[in-house]
Amino acid sequence: MELDAKIPAGPLEEKWDRHRFDLKLVNPANKRKFEIIVVGTGLAGGAASASLAEMGYNVKTFCIQDSPRRAHSIAAQGGINAAKNYPNDGDSIRRLFYDTIKGGDFRAREGNVHRLAQVSNLIIDHCVAQGIPFAREYGGLLANRSFGGAQVSRTFYARGQTGQQLLLGAYSSLMRQVAAGRVTMFPRREMLDLVLVGGQARGIVVRNLITGEIERHAAHAVVLATGGYANVFYLSTNGMACNVTASWRAYKKGAGFANPCFTQIHPTCIPVHGDYQSKLTLMSESLRNDGRVWVPKQGGDSRRPEEIPEDERDYYLERIYPSFGNLAPRDISSRAAKLMCDQGKGVGPTGRAVYLDFAESIQRLGKAEIEARYGNLFQMYEKIVAQDPYKTPMMIYPAAHYAMGGLWVDYNLMSTIPGLFVLGEANFSDHGANRLGASALMQGLGDGYFIIPYTIGGYLAGTRFSEVNESHPAFQEAEAEAAAQVERLLKIKGKRTVQDFHRELGHILWEYCGMGRNDAGLTKARELVAGLKGEFWENVTVPGSEKDFNQSLENAGRVADFLEFADIIIADALARRESCGCHFNEAFQTEDHEARRDDENMCHVAVWEYAGVGKAPIFNKEPLDFEFVKLATRSYK
């Protein structure tokens, strides 16, 4: 597998501008001759569809939900980063670039990350022009707040609904193009396969989730913006429909899968409260601006939090990481919370929680100010936990949140399959081993609004295309394979539900390939997953018919893919002979139990290549060269 990242030469600040100039262009009249498929309507997919259609391309857009507005981007809460430096506190494009590289534990490409920092300011201008109701200061200027991993305030926000407001902006732009006839919208479709013709991505096969019909759709290029795979852990902050299927089917057609074991663990989640819970609820990282994290100093202290005096509380983030305190990055904050609970200092019924306390900030700022900043988040917490966080500290614990890994892409956001572009969380490219808070929305909109419109044009203008339509044998073959998979699932007639298998898979991965890992546990996990996969294909029960609305069938296909995908997650974790980000292998730690990288041997992107049914995947490496940043021990103390 050839892994040419196509990073432009020259000074860091000039790479993107030079590359845009060097890319071939498609003239306006010729744009109307091209069909582009976009799968996914979150911030990346919605922005890409709207932008490409407005440029004149014919776009077919697919979403798994009943409306593009229900894409999981809507769940993002805290904000979106940009290097505007409105507070005049020392921010710059260079600083945002460096914070992102350092936050990702030096496991991301310099070129991609600097480009992201460059376009961040354009995103804010564009969203303001769309009418996004960002918070503003008294005088009318856009407000900023702090987020983990930065010592400047660069996060723009709309209370705790930033993702929802940004998605509505992208959705409005998308639907304008639908009304203009330049985007054809296909809701309630699930991508089941990618179609290659002559080695190029030329279309997809989807299942209509309402009628059960399998459909074929041809195009000149395919854009995947299908989000992340954290639901492989079963309990995660993701919406229930989030899955790995589109990316996994592309992987099995030849797309490299990069860093699959890199999953972000978010430190600020409502803890697990029952064996039959189906998902977890995120509390925005923005809460750590004014909330203080603590546990009792004495393990096993079962008193109510208000009964524990100040001198018997351990504000452990402030103690261990005084420079960043409660705004330490997500991976470090998550590991610290786990350490406290492992030491017996956890709180709540399960002992797997820590406190996030707002008493000091309420006293300092007043309840009205805290309500103005976080009111909807406090309401959400109270509805779920039945406790008033204005009076009692929130209980939080880390949870699987964001997929750091994803399909490998080059600087043009194209995968190892020509014509298959991958945007947003579905690719691996910009965050390394740990994503800084408020950077997901930045990447999604940057990819969709400001990067793919240039790079896909360069591909289309420089590629020869044969005539391909839905009757091509490659489409017939892909449809037949998809139908056979559906038929196979329905024929098993076992005794265990799909959800039961998914729950057990998630428990295995969280226990052995979560925040803490060791070789023995990973080896055991691989054996357990293989056994579970074998039982799934013999004993799962999938009621109903394929010619109908059948959510059990939908979920069965996704869990079947998760079971296969879990194996390369574990293989990747075993191959990663270091600790970085939140991926803590117990064999690689410093004297004070911090993650220890191995820059001499592990400074690379791990890329896995499909080798065929029953064969071990092929391991490839893309070396990471740091020309503009000095590799250093990552410290937030």
Helices 110-130 and 162-179: crossing angle in degrees, nearest 10, is: 70
For residues 13 and 9, give the distance between their C-alpha atoms in angstroms, rounded to a whole number.
Answer: 11
Q: Name the DSSP letter for residue 307.
A: G
For residues 95 and 83, give the distance between their C-alpha atoms in angstroms, rounded to a whole number.
Answer: 8
- 304 catalytically annotated: no
Could you give phi then psi for residue 313, rounded to 5 degrees?
-110, 145
Q: DSSP 3-state assignment of 79?
A: coil
Question: Which amino acid does the sequence have at 136?
Answer: R
Give, in degrees to the nearest 5, the angle at Cα 99 between 606 and 592: 75
DSSP assignment of 204-231: EEEEETTT--EEEEE-SEEEE-----GG
Strand pairing category for 221-224 and 35-39: parallel
Could you give phi then psi for residue 135, rounded to 5 degrees?
-60, 145
Catalytic residue from among 69, 288, 292, 330: 330
For residues 441 and 5, give the distance between their C-alpha atoms in angstroms, rounded to a whole number.
Answer: 23
Q: DSSP 3-state assignment of 107?
A: coil
For residues 195 and 192, give the distance between their C-alpha atoms in angstroms, rounded to a whole number.
Answer: 10
**Among 157, 39, 17, which residue's Cα sits nearest to residue 450?**
17
Could you give phi then psi for residue 407, rounded to 5 degrees?
-65, 135
Tell me the residue ranges of DSSP E strands in 131-178.
Answer: 155-156
- N- to C-terminal Cα distance for the chain? 41
Q: Name the DSSP letter for residue 349.
A: T
Q: Name the DSSP letter for residue 141.
A: P
Query: Catalytic residue positions?
Result: 330
